[in-house]
Amino acid sequence: MRVHFEFLYRCRPAGRMQAPAGRTASRSPMLRWHQTCVGPLTSALALAGCSEASKTSPVPPPVQVGVVTLTAGPVTTTQELSGRTVATNSSDVRPQVDGIILARLFKEGSFVQAGQPLYRIDPRPYHASRDQAAAALESAQAAYASAQSQAVRYRSLSDPDAISGQQLDNTIAAERTARAAVHQTAAALEAARINLGYTLVRAPISGRISRSLVTPGALVTASQATALATIQQLDPIYVDVVQSADSLLALRRALAKGSALPASAAVRLKLSDGSEYPEAGRIEFTEVTVDENAGTVALRARFPNRHDILLPGMFVRVAAPQSVIPNGVLAPQQGITRDPKGNASALIVGKGNTVVRVQVTAIQAIGSSWLVTRGLKSGDRLIVVGTQNAIPGSVVTPTLTHLPEEVRSQ
């Protein structure tokens, strides 16, 4: 700074210069002094300051990022399919005889056993029909006994000319007719007994019974369209779902190529409120035809339902295993980004802790991770924390981050 002041002193104006007579000074001495002394001094000071700043500014440290070390292994791919629950067996309770309902013998909504009495129909007319059939049977049996005795007597005559051949034939025919009448009246008696038994309406199957659609005093007929009640078997229970025919075809192609392995038939269930059903089920069958209107294939799963949590008609979602990827990588979703075109990429820490951007193929979200089939491998250090500060090609300081472990397969 002393040199600068000396420079200013030496460059000070020597005195006020007068312009010659008749001429106007083009520049004042102060202006010339400013241009020749102050200007160069200002530039020198600026250069000196820049050089000092460049020598003293510190180099920024590497950015710290959080990474996870990826591992590869078999991963089961699943597909969520929507569907509805269906009772395993369902049967309508209907009357088989006409009459007046005298009493309801069950509690609505309860569990009933097959053969349990449910309704009582007025049995008096059917008691009378049974007694009438029984009397007709006795009369037929008496007539048959008389015809049989006469036929035996005629056959035992020692003189063949005692009766004509025609009379003997008529006697034998009468015996057979009387025997047939016995069988006919016996069948009528059995029918009367059956109809009498139908006055007590019984449960056709075991299961949960619905509310009663008739009350005591109502007239019911054997041919009526309205059921008295409905019984449904709920344990186990079916879940009918539909799957796109295109996705099913793609799965079969992957299995044929060997890029995927067949998964087990065990499936999981999610209820309409988002909670998971505690019991696992199994796929019973896949429909052999495709719905022409929707282009879907129907599947049926079977689930245990010991506590009657599932009821027929409920909307549910089934997580159905599709295939097993032999060397799949589960990458945390916060480490995978997508561009406006939907292409997925990830930032990993390479050699020398240098950030490298790689293009990946993420085919399915499993929990909080992406299933990656290309672009990442076992041992890669994926950046999951501080991705906004990690620039490809820059050096970073990686720190191992622990994330909740994802379940690879169910």
CATH architecture of the domain with residue range 123-198: Orthogonal Bundle (1.10)
Report the distance separating Cα 46 and Cα 24, nearest Å: 36
Check if the beta carbon of residue 90 is closer than 8 Å to that of residue 402: no
Extract the tokens encoding 257: 């190529």
Instruction: Give me the pLDDT at residue 107, please.
Output: 93
- Domain 72-85+233-400: state its class: mainly beta
Per-residue pLDDT of the chain (410 residues; tens, 9 = 90+): 444 444 444 444 444 444 444 444 444 555 454 555 545 545 544 444 555 444 555 667 888 889 999 988 888 777 788 889 999 999 999 999 999 999 999 999 999 999 999 999 999 999 999 999 999 999 999 988 888 888 887 777 655 666 667 777 788 888 888 899 999 999 999 999 999 999 999 999 999 999 999 999 999 999 888 999 999 999 899 998 887 777 777 767 665 655 554 555 678 888 888 888 988 888 887 777 787 787 788 888 899 998 888 999 999 998 877 777 888 888 898 889 988 888 999 999 988 889 999 999 888 888 788 888 888 988 889 999 888 888 888 888 888 887 655 433 33
- The distance of Cα 164 from the centroid of its chain, to the nearest Å, equals 88
Closest CA to 301 of 337, 264, 328: 264
How would you label 292-317 residue by residue, b for 16+ Cβ within 10 Å and e otherwise? eeeebbbbbbbbebeeeebebebebb
Which amino acid is it at 171? T
Q: Six-digit token pair at 45?
A: 């000071």
∠ CA 85-91-95, rounded to 5°: 150
User: In whole angstroms, what is the distance from residue 314 CA to residue 232 CA?
Assistant: 14
- The candidate with the shortest Cα–Cα distance to 255, out of 321, 348, 203, 167, is 321
72-85+233-400 with 95-119+202-226: one CATH topology?
Answer: no
String of DSSP letters for 267-285: EEEE-TTSPBPSS-EEEEE
Parallel, antiparallel, or unpaired for β 261-262 and 229-244?
unpaired
Burial of 201 (0-12, 13-18, 19+ CB in 10 A): buried
Residue with tokens 């241009």: 35
CA angle 104, 110, 115 (to 5 degrees): 65
* Topology, domain 95-119+202-226: OB fold (Dihydrolipoamide Acetyltransferase, E2P) (2.40.50)
Instruction: For residue 176, give Cα distances in angstroms to 42, 136, 146, 155, 277.
Output: 147, 17, 11, 15, 69
CA dist list (Å): 136 to 153, 174, 295, 305: 26, 18, 64, 53
Using alpha carbons, list the distances in angstroms from residue 203 to 3, 68, 219, 237.
118, 62, 19, 20
- Residue 210's beta-bridge partner residues? none
Alpha carbons 209 and 301: distance in angstroms, whole number: 23
**Separation of alpha carbons 401 and 386, rounded Å:** 11
In a 3-state reduction of DSSP, which class is residue 286? strand
Considering the entire predicted model, what is its pTM?
Answer: 0.62
Which residue ranges make up each domain of the chain?
A: 72-85+233-400, 95-119+202-226, 123-198
Task: State residue 282 phi and psi, 5-degree precision.
Answer: -140, 150
